[in-house]
Structure formats: C-alpha cells, structure tokens
Chain A
Amino acid sequence: MTYAIQAEGLVKRFGETRALAGVSLTADAGTVMGVLGPNGAGKTTMTRILATLIEPTEGTARVGGFDVCKQAHQVRQLIGLTGQYAGVDEMLTGTENLVLIGRLLGLSRRSAKARAKDLLERFQLTEAAERAAKTYSGGMRRRLDLAASLVGDPKILFLDEPTTGLDPRSRNGLWDIVRGLTRDGVTVLLTTQYLEEADQLADDIIVIDRGQAIAHGTSDQLKAQVGGQVLEVAPIHEADADTIARVVGDLADAVPEVRGGLVSTPIPDPAIMPAVVRRLDEAGVVVGELSLRKSSLDEVFFALTGHHTDDIDAEAGELAQAADKEGASA
C-alpha cells in the first residue's frame, strides 16, 4: 500500500553540520504522525524536506505518492504547511492574507473571498478579519497561519511546532482543530517539543535527537520500551542519595537520576525491589520514602535522549518571552 508520507534515510548537511543523519518514517493516510524532539534535533529540517522547501543531501521521500524532489510540483498541490514562525504577511489583513493564497491557488476573486470568509469564521477570526495581521495576538496569528495552510484543502498537512509559545487555552484550541482535520481524513505530520502534545494527538510517534530517529511507536509502546516503571527512593539524610544511586543503578542496570535528594531509576523488573531494600540496609542507609510507579513520557524522553524536557521547556519559555517582547515592541 502507499503511505501518505514515506521517507527513507533522509540526510541533510549544511556545510559541516549534519542536521539529519538518516531518518526514515512512514505515516498512513488520515493519521497524525508526531515527531518529537528537542530544539535542534532536526525536526524543522525534516519538515522542510517533506514540504519541498529544501532537498535532502541523501535519501528519498514521497508525499502522497510523489517524490519530493522530482515531483515537487505535484506534492505542493497536496500539502499545507504551517511553519514554526507564522508565515503570514503582517501588513495585510486576515482576509487579504487568505485571499492572496486563494488567488495563488487559482481561485477566482469571488471564490477566494468566500473561502477566506469561511476559514476566518472557522478559526474565530471573523471580528479581526479586516485588521492587519500585525495587530493580532500570538494565538490569532497561529490560527491565521493554519487557516492559510488550509485554503487549498490539503490532503497532507505539516505542522512545525504549531503550539510553541502559545498559552494553554490557545494550545487546546489548536489541538481541537487538528483532531477535526484528521476526522476529515487529513494526514498530519506534527513536530513538537511537548510530550503531552504528542501523547494527546499522535497515533504514532517518532523521537528524534541530533538528527537521528532514536525511537518509534505509539506513546504506550514508547513507555513500555524504556521499562515502563520507575523506582523512587528518598533517604532521610540527603547525603545518602549518592549511595542509593550507586546501589539502585547497579541492580537496575540503569543510570539513576538524582534531584533534590530523590533518586529516580527506570527499572526493567519490579522483582529487584527486595534486593534493593536489602542492599540499602546493608549500606546503612535509612530510607524515608520508597515507591514504584509507571514512568511518565518525560522519563521516556530522558531515557532516550539523555536530557530532560524541562531543559527544553525552559528554553521554550525564554523563546516565548522573547516573542512576547517582540510582540509588545512591534
């Protein structure tokens, strides 16, 4: 069968840097493919290749059955793209932005206007329709951007970090829109730094880091892949945390994470619990808290990439702040 999106061994070099180091993926029609990874992982590069904006250095990709390099024009007739930075003309009104795209896609002036009106209504932008896009809030801009990518009724939609920098309410609104689109049969490739977003929307998730796919599956499969359970131990005396980390790490054959006197370790098998207790007793550590729980996607991410999503969230927070400042000064 043909996939809506099919990429094989995508490599992209920019001079010395290798943004993508051989990523493959497939997405069935009508599903949401989540591409999860930190900043600089190669998500945007991959999206740009699939959306025909750049050509891969190596590898091939087909979108809607067409080769993204050799049949780019056909691919462009099937796709919609919403980039990381809202690609709307700030000088034009909401209506003009959408009419512009409609006209470029070959609609008559009248149909382009009708289409713009429908989309603005659907994205709750009717009131702002005749205002220049530069007066829009971040959330409104993203909605207008998404509307612009839907003017041509795309079969396949690329959303590159559509919610980065958005407040929770706008984010939920955007999620609903994406769900609605998949119900209409649209295939979505969504990149995100947020595990929750991938968890909420994606049928299938590929985790990429430093240009490489390091895991692939549904969110449940990913959770299971890294053990699925986490042992948390907190000593009475915080100084004992290192000892605990050594003991548990040894038994679980994993790298524990120490944070504020709490040692968390992904474990493959709960059966090691008695051994953990015995060894800690022998080492003379008094344990204040000991618990076993299912691992969160955050831990999955950490186990796979070696860094936390918190680091990314902090970065994203700064970016959002910077964007706010920019918005305020504009």
Chain B
Amino acid sequence: MTTATLTPQPLTKRVSPAIAARNTATLAWRNLVQIKHNPMELLDLSIQPIMFVLLFSYVFGPAMKGSVEAYLPVVIPGIIAQNALFAGMSTGFGLNTDITKGVFDRFRSLPIARSAPLIGRIIADTVKQAWSMIILLAVGFAIGFRIETNVLALLVAFVLLLAFAVLFSWTSVYIAMKVNEPEKVQIFGFVVIFPLSFLSTAFIPTTKGIPGWLAWLMDNSPVTQLVEAMRGLLVGGPVLEHALIALAWGVGISIVFAPLSLRAFKARA
C-alpha cells in the first residue's frame, strides 16, 4: 500500500466550527492560487481599472470640470464603486464554472462545512476587490488624486466598499444558479451592471440638467449612494446618510437574492 495511507478515524457526526473555518480558508486559498496559473486574471483585475481611470480622467475631465485634476475627486471614487460592481460578477462566474465542471459536486460529497465552498469564494473575491481598490487609488495618486480625509476614513471606505460588494454579489450568485454556462453570467454583468453603474453619479458631479424622471432614478440608485459615501470618505463631504442607504440597499438585495439563490440551487441539483 501507499506510504501515506490514512489511519481510520472514528466518524464524526458534524463539522465543528474550527473545522468549518479551516475548510473555508482552504477553499479561499484554492480560489486565490488559481491566479498563479492564470496571470491574465490578475491583469484583468488591474488593467481594466487602470484603463478606466486614465480614459475617464483625460478624456472627460477637461470637459466635465475644466481640468483633469478637478475631475479626479469626482471620478476616482466613482470608478472604485463601478469596479466593485463588475468585480462582483466574478463570484457568480467562478461559482457557475465550478457547478458546470462538476467541481462543486466533488466538494459537496466531502465531509466539509456546507457553507465553505461559497464563503471561501466570497473571501477570495473580497481579497481581489481590495486589490483592485488599491490599484485604483495608486493610479489615481500617480496622476494627481489625493485623499483629503484621514487614514480612518480610508479604512472605513474599504470596509464599506467590500461590504457592499459582498452583499451585492448575491445577484451574481443567483444568476450563476440559473444559467447553464459561465459566459452567461458575464453577459448579465454587461447588460445589467453597465447601465446600472452609469445611471448614477459615478462619473458626473451632479444630475442637474438630466430629464426629471431619469435624474430621480439616478439620485436614488444604490450606486449613487455608494459613490457619494465613497466621495465623502475619500475627499470629504457627507458620509453617514449615503453609507447607511447604500448598506440598506445591499442588505435588501441579499435578503431577496440569498434565499432565491439557495432555492435555485436546490432546484438545479
């Protein structure tokens, strides 16, 4: 027999919290180590944000606020928020890949915590989100963006963004459960997230001049609330109300989509 044969151990009746945490950490590691073999993913996480920052700042900046520098406080927090929404789609994309390739079945046939595959992925995606946000801030800094607040506000900005991203990613989890190929999750990202992020104040200082009903829609969009809160935290301005409304949206979205996802998953298995 092999040298590393397992010694038979008495069967356990359930997964202890310590083991559940370990399972989750292992699966988070698995989702991050993939980057090592697919450096394109890291580029994806970095290049798109860089491109957006440069294009928006230099092309729209002068027309929007008279100069690139004056536009940066508007657009950097906006792009950070938009990027978080897009990156949230990768949770669904990865989940659907696992399900269609049979990897998810393997995990579920193992004596591990039921929640570990999903939470492990969410943790890994949160790390990727944080990475993107750091890249965005760094590129912004390089072309003249300055954080006008303090370190504490910056930390709160990170927490708020990551929390919103996790809550919002339930939409992509739900799509992942409903479609039969990962590419369809991306299509969803494009047709829903794209307009959603533009129908906000992510790239504009104000909705003044926009037709009334549309301006109302944009002012009340969860993305606008998130963007305004991020602006407040990074360059100053009102924070609390926007942050609370954004989080309320996030909680509402997850309250709706988490059970729907669970039900869709049971139906497809």
A: which residues have CB within 8 A of B? 14-15, 48, 51-54, 71, 73-74, 76-81, 83-93, 96, 100-101, 103-107, 111, 114-115, 117-119, 122, 132, 148-149, 152-153, 184
B37 / chain A contacts, CB cutoff of 8 Å: 91-93, 132
Contact code string B14-45 (vs A, CB < 8 Å = 1, else 0): 11000100110011001001100110000000
Cβ–Cβ < 8 Å partners of B15 in chain A: 73
User: Chain A nearest CB: distance from B50 CB in Å?
Assistant: 24
With A54-B269, A81-B109, A105-B111 in contact, do A87 and B103 touch (Cβ < 8 Å)?
yes
Contact A152/B103 with A73-B15, A104-B26 known, Cβ cut-off 8 Å? no
Complex CA gap A92/B215 in Å reads 47
Q: Is the CB of B269 within 8 A of A115?
A: no
Query: Hey, which bits of chain B sit against chain A, CB under 8 A?
Result: 1-6, 8, 11-15, 19, 22-23, 26-27, 30, 33-34, 37-38, 98, 100-112, 116, 267, 269
Are A91 and B38 touching (Cβ within 8 A)?
yes
- Whether A73 contacts B111 by the Cβ 8 Å rule is yes
> CB distance A48 to B269 under 8 Å?
yes
The winner among A92, A104, A148 for most chain B CB atoms within 10 A is: A104
Residue of B nearest to A100 (CB): B30
In the complex where A74-B13, A101-B110 touch, is A91 in contact with B34 (Cβ < 8 A)? Answer: yes
Choose from B98, B101, B108, B116 the contact partner of A53 (Cβ within 8 Å). Answer: B108
- In the complex, which of the residues A80, A85, A153 contacts B101, with contact meaning CB atoms closer than 8 Å? A85
A-B contact pairs, 15 of them (CB 8 A): A52-B109, A53-B269, A74-B12, A76-B110, A80-B109, A89-B30, A92-B30, A104-B107, A104-B110, A104-B116, A105-B110, A115-B2, A119-B2, A149-B106, A153-B6
A53 to B98, CA, bound (A): 15
Do B12 and A73 touch (CB < 8 A)? yes
Instruction: Write the nearest CB–CB distance from B29 to chain A, whole angstroms.
Output: 8
Taking a contact as CB atoms closer than 8 A, the residue among B1, B34, B110 that contacts A89 in the complex is: B34
> In the complex, what distance in Å separates the CA atom of A53 from the CA atom of B15?
17
Q: Which residues of B contact A53 (CB under 8 A)?
A: 105, 108-109, 269
Cβ A92 vs Cβ B34 within 8 A = yes
Q: Is the CB of B105 within 8 A of A83?
A: yes
Docked-complex contact B109 and A115, CB < 8 angstroms: no
Q: How far is the CA of A81 from the CA of B104 in the complex (A)?
A: 12
Q: Which of these, A51, A86, A107, contacts B109 with CB under 8 Å? A: A51
Which residues from B are CB-within-8-Å of A15? 267
